[in-house]
Amino acid sequence: MTTDTLTRPTPAPTRNPYRVTTSRVLRSEWHKLWTLRTTWITLITAAALVLAVGITMGSTYDGDDSEIDTVVFVLFGTQLSQICLAVLGILVTAGEYANGMIRASLTAVPRRGPVLWSKAAVFTTVAFTLSLVTNVVTFLVAQLWLAGTDKELSLTDSGVLGALAGSAAAITLLSLIALGLGALLRSVPGGIGAFVGAVLVLPEVIGTLPLDAVDTAVKYFPAQASESLGSITPVEDGVSAGTSLLALTLWAAALLVAASALLKRRDV
C-alpha cells in the first residue's frame, strides 16, 4: 500500500437525489390536487354558490329577518359550498383508490403515513384560503345592498372578521372530516354516504330523543358545533366558539389518526 493511498481523502458520500422528504411529498400532493379538473370545478362551484346566495340575500332583504345574525344571513350559501368541499375532500383520498393512483403513491412513499398527512395539509390550506376569501368578498358585496339597513356592518366592526374566519374554519374542518372518512372507507360513494348520514343526518335524529344528556352530547357533534363559529353573536343553546373549534379539531384529528393507522396495516 503506497503513501498516496493512505493519505488520499475519503470521498464524501453523495446525497440521494430521490430521497423521500416531507417537502417532496407535500409538493407531490399539491401537484396532484391542482392537476385534477375536478378540483377546479368543485372549488369554483363552492365559491360561486356562496357569492350567488349572498348577493341574493342582500339584494332582496326587506327587514323581515332582522333577528338573524348579519354574517350568518349573508353566508347562507356556505351550507351548499360545504357539500362541495366535503365531496372534494373525499375525492382527495378515496378518489385515488377508485382510479388506482394510490398504488403509485404508496410505492413512492413506503411509510404511507406521510401521504395521508400531506393530503390533509394541502387540502386544509386550499379549503381554508378559498373559504375565507369567498366569505370576505361575499360579505363586502352583500353590504352594497345592506347599507342603510339594520344589517349594515363593516369588516372593522367588532366580531365580523372573527365570524368570517370562524365560518371558514368550520367549513374546512368539516371537509377535513370528510377527507378522513374517505381515507377510512376507501370508497367515494361510501365516504359521501357516511358524511351525509353520520355527520349531517344522524345527530338530528339522535337529538329528537327526550334526554338531557343526549341534548348536551349532540352540541359537540361536528355539524352542530360548527354553527357557533360563523356567528357574531353567541348561538342560543350552543357551545362557545372556542369549544366548537376544539371539538371539530378533535373529530378531524381522530378520524385522520384512525385512517393513518389502518393505512399502515392493511393492503392497498
Band of pLDDT at residue 215, cut at 50, 70 and 90:
confident
pLDDT tens sequence across 189-204: 999 999 999 999 998 8
Q: Which residues of 14-24 are buried (b: 16+ CB within 10 A; e: fewer)?
A: eeeeeeeeeee
Band of pLDDT at residue 18, cut at 50, 70 and 90:
low
Contacts with 140 (C-beta within 8 Å, 6 or more apart), sequence order: 155
What value does the mean pLDDT take over residues 11-37? 79
**Predicted pLDDT at 91:** 95
**Predicted pLDDT at 2:** 53
Contact 111, 261 (CB under 8 A): no
For residue 247, the Cα-to-chain-centroid distance in whole angstroms is 14
Residue 62 has phi, psi (to 5 degrees) of: -125, 15
Q: Is the pLDDT of residue 10 over 80?
A: no
What value does the mean pLDDT take over residues 210-238? 87
User: What gap in Å lies between CA 165 and CA 13, rounded to an integer?
Assistant: 49
More confident call, 171 vs 18: 171
**Predicted pLDDT at 62:** 85
Q: Is the pLDDT of residue 12 over 70?
A: no
**Predicted pLDDT at 100:** 80
Lowest mean pLDDT: which of 90-94, 105-109, 176-180? 105-109
**Predicted pLDDT at 214:** 83
> Residues of the chain with pLDDT > 70: what percent?
93
What value does the mean pLDDT take over residues 178-193? 95
**Predicted pLDDT at 117:** 94
Helices of type H across the chain? 3-7, 22-34, 37-59, 70-74, 78-99, 101-108, 113-146, 160-185, 188-194, 202-206, 212-218, 222-226, 241-265
Q: Which amino acid is at 234?
A: P
Contacts 24+ apart (CB under 8 A), 36-43: 36/91, 38/88, 38/91, 38/95, 39/88, 42/84, 42/85, 42/87, 42/88, 42/91, 43/84, 43/88, 43/126, 43/130
Band of pLDDT at residue 257, cut at 50, 70 and 90:
very high
Q: Is the pLDDT of residue 65 over 80?
A: no
Give me 79's grid cell: 351550507
Residue with cell 401521504: 115
Q: Is the dihedral of CA 209, 215, 221, 227 positive or negative?
A: positive
What value does the mean pLDDT take over residues 33-40? 92
pLDDT tens sequence across 146-162: 998 989 999 999 899 99
What value does the mean pLDDT take over residues 112-120? 91
Residue with cell 378533535: 250
How high is the mean pLDDT of the chain? Answer: 89
More confident call, 3 vs 236: 236
